[in-house]
Amino acid sequence: MYNTAIYPGTFDPFTNGHLDIVKKAAKIFNEVNVVIGINTNKKRTYDINEMRQAVEETLVECGLDNCKVIIYNGLIGQYTQDNSIDYMVRGLRNNMDYFYEENIAEVNKLINPDIEYVYFRADNVALSSSMVKELNGYGQDVSKYVPESVFRVMKQYGDRKD
């Protein structure tokens, strides 16, 4: 049976923690859609198209040929339903992440009752996009927290705290 999973996020920026989750999902699913969602409640720090290209480069460099990157503006539950996707991948750093994800899952299940969540433990527990942006904003070297292609995008924007 062919199975497809979605791994949604704002990925602003895409971190090594995100990459770790994608690698784990790629071992289990035939196809993984890394979906960069447009969240109208969040102002992006990095251009969404540049980030998509950086993530695509990273996936190619890692040999993850069963993964693709998509930009989507809408409800993720609707995306899964429209594209017949049965699995949603999420990374968990701690129990607070779990409770947050469970609330989101309930909303998505209202739209697509067939969606199943698959949780992966993030190996880089403290790593978050917000943390990376904060460190970068204070001029710290964040190259060890993000893939090389993502770091190149970040360098174009300089030290930013937003």
Q: What is the DSSP letter of 108?
A: H
List, for the chain, all residue ranges whose pLDDT scores fall below the cut of 50.
none
pLDDT (0 to 100) of residue 160: 58
pLDDT (0 to 100) of residue 81: 95
DSSP notation for 27-51: HH-SEEEEEEE--TTS--SS-HHHH
* Contact of 45 with 162, CB cutoff 8 Å: yes
Gap between the Cα atoms of 143 and 127, Å rounded: 13
pLDDT (0 to 100) of residue 34: 99
Q: Give residue limits of the domains in the chain.
A: 4-156
pLDDT (0 to 100) of residue 100: 73
pLDDT (0 to 100) of residue 1: 84
Considering the four listed CATH numbers 3.40.50.10440, 3.30.540.10, 3.40.50.620, 3.40.50.720, the one that applies to the domain covering 4-156 is: 3.40.50.620
pTM over 0.85: yes
Per-residue pLDDT tens over the stretch 111-156: 999 999 999 987 765 678 999 999 998 989 999 999 999 999 999 8
Gap between the Cα atoms of 7 and 34, Å rounded: 5
Please name the residue that has the structure tokens 């927290």.
Answer: 145
pLDDT (0 to 100) of residue 95: 66
pLDDT (0 to 100) of residue 161: 54
Tokens of 69: 């990157």
